[in-house]
Amino acid sequence: YILEKMKNVPVGQKTFFKGRIFMFKFSKTLAIMLVAVLFVFAVAGCGQQGETESAGSDDSSQDTSGEVIKIGNVGPLSGNTATYGISTKNGVEVAIDEFNNAGGIDGKQIQFLAEDTRGDQAEAANAVTKLIEQDKVTAIIGGVLSSETMTGGPIANDAKIVMLSPSSTATGVPEIGDYIFRNCLSDEVQAIQLAEYAVSELGLGKFAIMFHNNDYGLSLKDAFEAKAKELAEVVDIETY
């Protein structure tokens, strides 16, 4: 039911939370937990449509005749960006433990299968393929990095497996397909709202921009620069 509702949402509105940027005091872990809880509620609807598969609690070789709901996770658990993937994985595990301790979903326990991409796009594609074809997951949380989602998303979408990213902010993620979603603001929305706030609320008129020279930093810089030049003056741009 939830999946059918999602498919009817216009592409431009598929980012779950849009609007002005607020200063939240939630810890990163709590925020990730909330994302995980939202995702598990969505999977409940998918699970009721008979998309669950046989699995053991942690041993994929154990057959329990559909008594568990398998949820996959794709993200960096090692390498330079591991902190993001580990935080996401930990938060999801807390939420899943809470559901399982409360009786699961319709009496079925949730099994969590996490794959390490090491922050590599090719590894992300392999991880998504394994979760779908070998592990037979009902849905996937991830990717954690935008590059992972852009690479693995088309694979999940073609297989009609719901994939929800808690943190892929790059432009174009919702447009991958009807089964691909994110639960965060895009780079463009973040940067535009920041520029508007700085001008309209803080009264600033001149900006110097410093950005990290990677895909994420460049995307934020481009969106902020365009809006800042429209509303005020950009006096310098430096990278690091």
Residue with tokens 């699995």: 55
DSSP summary character for residue 156: H
> Does the pTM exceed 0.95?
no
- How far apart, in whole angstroms, are the C-alpha atoms of residue 154 and residue 33? 26
The pLDDT of residue 66: 63
Look up residue 220 and give its two tokens: 């934020």
Residue with tokens 């949402």: 9
Taken in order 140, 146, 148, 149, the sign of the CA dihedral is: positive
pLDDT digits 0-9 by tens, 124-179: 999 999 999 999 999 999 999 999 999 999 999 999 999 999 999 998 999 999 99
- How far apart, in whole angstroms, are the C-alpha atoms of residue 204 and residue 196? 10
Q: Quick check: 60 and 194 in contact, CB under 8 A?
A: no
Strand partners for 126? none
pLDDT digits 0-9 by tens, 170-208: 989 999 999 999 999 999 999 999 999 999 999 999 999
The pLDDT of residue 97: 95
How many angstroms separate the Cα of 205 from the Cα of each of 7, 19, 228?
42, 23, 9
pLDDT digits 0-9 by tens, 61-99: 333 446 899 999 999 999 999 999 999 999 999 999 999
- Listed in sequence order, the DSSP H helices in 55-145 are 82-101, 121-133
- How far apart, in whole angstroms, are the C-alpha atoms of residue 167 and residue 15? 11
3-state class (DSSP) for residue 183: coil
- How far apart, in whole angstroms, are the C-alpha atoms of residue 93 and residue 9? 29
- How far apart, in whole angstroms, are the C-alpha atoms of residue 208 and residue 219? 16
Reported for 55-60, long-range contacts at CB under 8 A and 24+ positions apart, including other chains, are: 55/111, 55/135, 55/136, 56/111, 57/109, 57/111, 58/111, 60/113, 60/134, 60/135
